[in-house]
Structure 1
Amino acid sequence: MDFVLSGAAACGACLFTNPLEVVKTRMQLQGELKAPGSYQVHYRNVFHAFYTIGRVDGLAGLQKGLVPGLLYQFCMNGFRLGSFAIIESAGYIHSEDGRVIPGKSIAAGAIAGVIGAVMGSPVYLIFPSESWLVALTAGMVSSVVVVVAMTPFDVVSTRLYNQPVDSRGQGLLYRGFVDCFMKTVRKESMLGLYKGIGASYFRLGPHTILSLLFWNELRKFYCQHRLHS
């Protein structure tokens, strides 16, 4: 049940943050493998991108990829938060007097994150040009660190998953992660690895807070229901 509640909480958060996922992906793919200044900039920043997509594609355009997004969140966060809950309930991260042991808590979070990433990765492949890490604490400072550290990898993974392929299913632009990373830096400079960082930040904060809020409320509701049944 921990997995179901965790997945449902993440889906609830996704309903509110998917538009920022759309904006982030559009900005990451903008000017792909083109030198700065050599292409038309359709999205100047996260706010302009949000407005432009809504005006051109309508409000429905801001929710593109919602169904696979919900499926991805349910699988990835269901396994990630669910795994962490199981590890926590087993008493692994607490000392005998009930205090949280930081080292073990970090290790449990890392293990849960890997499980979530592995289980959610196959679903990520079906995203129609839309795109691991949601901190277990919802501090805004930690969100900045996560975004800065993870954005280059997010840009590369987004481009790998959305590159055109030939009849054999082979990518036409990139041979793999390293090739995509190097081509992006060579063509777009290091700044190319940080496209969409604003949207990533604005999405991560609310998504983290909402996921954990819904997860906590769903677990409380489930426990109360069990007590009364």
Structure 2
Amino acid sequence: MKMKEVCAATGLTERAVRFYVQEQLVNPQSQRRGGRTWLDFSEPDVERLRAIGILRKAGFTIDEIRSMGQDFPNNAPGAAFALRRRLQEAIDASERLRRIDTAQADGLESYASLLEAEVKDQPLPDYDGPCTRHIDIDAWHDRVEWLLMLGAVWLFWRLYNGAVDLLSDRFTLLSIAFWNPLVYFLLFVILPLPIAIVLGSGAGKWLCRHFEYVPCEEKSLPNRQALLMFAQS
């Protein structure tokens, strides 16, 4: 099964699927063709991806899901206990916040002072730190595309200058016309510049599609739905 079919069947994005493959939560067959890796998913792979999506929504981490996939009978109880503990900590934090009215504070510092006694024994979240693999992938794609567009414009400018010199040497009328700076730059703007921008943009999009970068796992507090499920259990 191809990527688009997998995304439609699981409700996952291609970015998420590639991340789970990179993390070896699922291991589809792969082939390298045309500088790109093509993935072929089996029905069990799709079922595993669907299960991973559900477990992620429930609040399990990538490491916990990996451990359960490797040895479910032995590792699932510990993973479930760790999730329940995180959910309970989030509920406790919610209760502490409920006891402090923001109307009692007139700014961030005073609000922190009101909360200080409630959280003095609490550690900082272990995900409060730099993620060495994290990058805004959309911004990265934009930068690559702009860089290649600028490179294409520079290349076409050099080619345009070479063509102008060649034509000026052979045709006197063109030589006279090209002495006018307005004509010189206008012809470049009308003809080579749009082609350079289109080709540079296309090259940038192609490169980004074939560069198999996947950002690191986003870590966050358990979601509201998971908290409600835990509170009702």
Question: Shorter chain as normaliser: what TM range?
Answer: under 0.3
Larger radius of gyration: 2
Higher relative contact order (CA closer than 8 Å, sequence separation 6+): 1
User: Of Structure 1 and Structure 2, which has the larger fraction of its residues in strand?
Assistant: 2
